[in-house]
Amino acid sequence: MSVLAAIAVLALLIVVHELGHFMAARLQKIHVNRFSIGFGPILWKYQGPETEYAIRAIPLGGFVGFPDDEPDSNIPENDPNLLRNRPILDRAIVISAGVIANLIFAYLVLVAQVGTYGVPAGFNYQPGVIVPQVVSQESAAAKAGIKSGDIIIAVDGKELGASKEAIPFLKEAIESHAGQPLELTLQRNKATLSVKVTPQPAPEGTGRIGVQLAPNGTATYRRANSTFEVLSLGADRFQTIFVGTVQGFYQLITHFKETVGQVAGPVKIVEEGAKVAQNDTGNLFLFAAIISINLAIINILPLPALDGGQLAFLLIEGLRGKPLPTHIQDGVMQTGLMLLLGLGIFLIIRDTTQLEAIQKLFQ
């Protein structure tokens, strides 16, 4: 059920994104002839009065189609409600509406989480620090045998107590031992084991082992005092996630070799979402918000086949006073789409082979 919940969240986010484009066009009375979730062969479709609604075989996104360039369209080429005949601002609104829809949806989801589960009122700490994720199979942690879900309960024989100081203490030990072995005591399910890990030196000279860390315990909540508190806390969480996501993309660009292994495809995202749902179904709200913000930021990047790439074409058109030749735009977009699909398929294959259930088949 947790896997189905994670898949449902991803599907919902794609629908939200494409619905943003669709509604922005329809509200401006711009012709829309296709609304598709997925790419490739059609699995199911419904033909409305003007728009074909479809679900396609390759679940790597979706698209909203316009009749502008279809040779068999019965709409006159000079129709003012064709997308290409609209002013640049109108087209920019349609193109950017998917990103805006994902950002608005993320905020509403976070507000719903606060409204449903309450306001954090504290944390019941348990001994140790949880490792939610090992970020790369090439990391020092992975090579030492540390796995996602392990609880680190001691460092070089010094126990990590049940307090908020456990994570800072562990981070300090790792950062100060670049190139030097550390003995970590782990709790995995009901077993206790020891591993030796040698933190890899980071560019700034501190050590890192390539894991995410989280406090061990459970949060406590109270009812919100007012609607304003719910909206305000939702906004604070949105800002924190948004800023952290932007910083993550910046690190991916500036430290590509060290962070490229963290890039996840649909399979890995579903796997992590299933773990979140299994531990606490309320965390699905947070999972949906994080993925929705990531989807928005990825789409606004000025890359071919993404919304940001189309906005870049509009910017060039505004500067030149006329659009780039159609064959150039189509060539860039088709190339970008093929690269995007290729990357998606590569990530699906890579992440599938790294699933624990698949790996056990070859052991």
Q: Catalytic residues, which ones?
A: 18
The token duo for 216 is 């061990």
Q: Classify residue 171 as exposed, middle or buried by CB count within 10 Å of its CB (0-12, 13-18, 19+).
A: middle
Distance, in Å, from the CA atom of 224 to the CA atom of 229, rounded to the nearest integer, reads 6
291 within 8 A of 109, measured Cβ to Cβ: no
Contact (Cβ atoms closer than 8 angstroms) between residue 154 and residue 186: no
Between CA 36 and CA 55 the distance in angstroms is 6
CB contact at 8 A, 173 and 209? no
CA–CA dist 265, 86 (Å, integer): 36
| Partners of 214 in beta bridges | 130
- Which residues have CB under 8 Å from 133's CB, separation 6+? 148, 211, 212, 272
> Is the torsion defined by CA of 189, 191, 192, 198 positive or negative?
negative
